[in-house]
Structure 1
């Protein structure tokens, strides 16, 4: 099964996403359904079902304290040729991602070389749109959706369908303090 580890955004933040997406919605890009927007800590890819219980056990050992995070800023990767439009996320997500990486290292998952906390809003299918998207994004780049407490993360299963992905929570991991 195709899996990833993520922090879900609270419902009040997800409710704001459609208005942000409208600022740059156009043909040539695929918007992420607002209820699916999340912060990926680690993409695992295809995982044999027989290993999922072991992965859950390892993730259960990740120790972290609840922390405040802020969803602020709209930007794009990689730069002049935009492929992804995102919401920025600040807070100690990198520490949590590193702890998840360490917990999963025995399973042979490669360590992420560079982690950037963000929530994907859209994937750009037509790089020729980069200039106009850059202009639209600059108009909303300082968007601030506020703070929330990160006190859990989730192992998710992703099923790809022609209508978009379907996510299913496999296990939830809560902060230790």
Structure 2
């Protein structure tokens, strides 16, 4: 059964810039830069029939290319931080694209996404990182410079069953515009 999700790829210059945030945090498992992406919809482990339906229904999404802006680093997890992320501005075009993914994937028969969409790029997964260490890390590196790029396609990714972090494979690409 494939594990699928949809997302936006990052330009290589942004991925290279984000690698400068790596290191200096005990308990962090850093994601390889070639696996950086913005998840639009996690689908999960699905049978091949649902995967085929998702593949076809995503082709019905027609949107213009969109500007995507990264605005700094943050942590997810509150008092028990579980990830270091780059924040993505949740502008209207991005939210509409994500909502279109949700509709099409549900139309294919997948269960609704239970989590609120919070666009981000995962840089590291944290295990036993102290909140104080995470706060110190963000105080030093959290002011990542604002970066904007144009997304001209979205992709359907597959991944191996694991705790996350790749490797991710582009199964299909869908142009925007």
TM-score, normalised with respect to structure 2: 0.89
Runs of 4+, deviation exceeding 4 Å: 161-164
After superposing the two structures, state which structure 1 stretch, 66-75 or 107-116, moved more: 107-116
Return 5+ residue gaps in structure 2 as ranges.
none
Q: What do you get for the CA RMSD once the two structures are aligned?
A: 1.9
CA–CA distance in structure 2, aligned partners of residues 109 and 147 of structure 1: 32
- Equivalent position of 1:115 in the other structure: 117
After superposing the two structures, state which structure 1 stretch, 61-70 or 48-57, moved more: 48-57
CA–CA distance in structure 2, aligned partners of residues 5 and 164 of structure 1: 15
In the TM superposition, residue 162 of structure 1 has moved relative to its aligned partner by 9.2
In the TM superposition, residue 78 of structure 1 has moved relative to its aligned partner by 2.0
Describe the SS at the equivalent of 2:98: helix
- Equivalent position of 1:165 in the other structure: 166
- Equivalent position of 1:54 in the other structure: 53
- Equivalent position of 2:84 in the other structure: 85
Instruction: Note the 1:17-166 alignment, pairs <5 A.
Output: 17-22=18-23, 24-26=24-26, 28-90=27-89, 91=91, 92-106=93-107, 107-127=109-129, 129-160=130-161, 165-166=166-167
Structure 2 CA distance for partners of 1:164 and 1:86, relative to 1, 3 Å: closer
CA–CA distance in structure 1, aligned partners of residues 101 and 152 of structure 2: 14
CA–CA distance in structure 2, aligned partners of residues 25 and 141 of structure 1: 13
TM-score, normalised with respect to structure 1: 0.89
CA–CA distance in structure 1, aligned partners of residues 94 and 9 of structure 2: 12
Matched, 1:12 2:13: yes
Return 5+ residue gaps in structure 1 as ranges.
none
